[in-house]
Structure formats: structure tokens, C-alpha cells
Structure 1
């Protein structure tokens, strides 16, 4: 186990209120190593942003992923539009059948209620 990994584990176990002897026993290291790791915590890790991912457009913000970016690029190229317009269109197209299904269910319920009256 690397020193960095061990320090992360020591910090995590200490946050869970484990004692120095318990942490040392759990990780198979000396109490002195645990004490030293507690005095030298691991550096904060910044989340890594892939260089090929553009920043999100203003407005609707979705968690960025490589696959999402590729799909948006395919749609943008196919429809020759701005990413925001293509996203609006795709969301509208995906929602339309659901909207129609809900409307049909509401119409069927209304008909049932009228038949009961």
C-alpha cells in the first residue's frame, strides 16, 4: 500500500473515531506510523476534468461524461444546430410519447368517471 493511500485510510478511520491502536491494528502498521500519518494528512485531491470535455452550457446543467459529449456532438452535427437547441429538441422528442401516454390515461379515467355518473 502506498503512503498516500495509507494516509487516506488513516484519515478516514480517524474520522470514524477509531483510536490510534485500532487503526494501527486494522492497517497492520505501527502506532507511530498512524500518529505520523495523522500529523501529515493526505493533500486534498481536485477532481480531474478530462481535457476533451467542454464546459457545460448555461441553463440546464447535466453531469458531464465523455459519452454524453459524444452523443451531443453526433446530434449537433446531424441536425446542424447549436448544442442547446439540439438538447431541447431531443428532450422534447423523448418526452412526447410519455406525454401522449399520460394524456391517454387521463382521458380513459375521465371516460370511466363519466360512465359511472
Structure 2
């Protein structure tokens, strides 16, 4: 067996949990040979870096559902708009309601502390 092949086998048997004495007995070489093979092994290659993820298109991505599709159809028909415009309008309206709620709470706290 060539030295290169033996080093591959030594590395494999080490990975499987065998100690140098067991490997030496298995391969019919001395323990010193196995220990030298282990010492002289090149360090493991670093794991390859994962490929960068593809950029996500700008915009809002939502999981499709039957209810969402129906709601978007209603808004699109009601406003005679493109689905994107109807969705934008709905999000704006919902956010506006939340803003008003927060503003009212802040004003109530300010009055209570005055």
C-alpha cells in the first residue's frame, strides 16, 4: 500500500474512532508510523462558503391563500385598480388606523399626567 493510500486509510479509521494502536494492528504497520501519518496529515480543507442567496425582489411578498386572493379581488374590483395598488391602499389604511390609535393613547397619557 502506498504512503498516500495508507494516510487516507489512517484518516478514515481515525474518523471512525480507532486509536493509533488499533489502526497499526489493522494495517500491519508500527504505531509510530500511524502517529507520524496523523501528524503529517494536512489540515482538513475548510468547508466551502455557501453561495450568496439570490436577492429578493423589492416589494412585499405574501404567502398565497384563497382568502387573501378573494380579498384582493374585492379590493381590486372596488377601487378599479391593479392588485398592487389595491394592496398598497389597504396597507396604508390599516397603518393610518394604527397611527391614530397610538396618537390618541399618547394624548390621553399626556392629559392624565398633566
What is the TM-score of this pair, normalised by structure 2? 0.44
Rg larger in 1 or in 2? 2
| TM-score computed with the length of structure 1 as normaliser | 0.43
Q: Which has the higher contact order (CA 8 A, sep 6+)?
A: 1
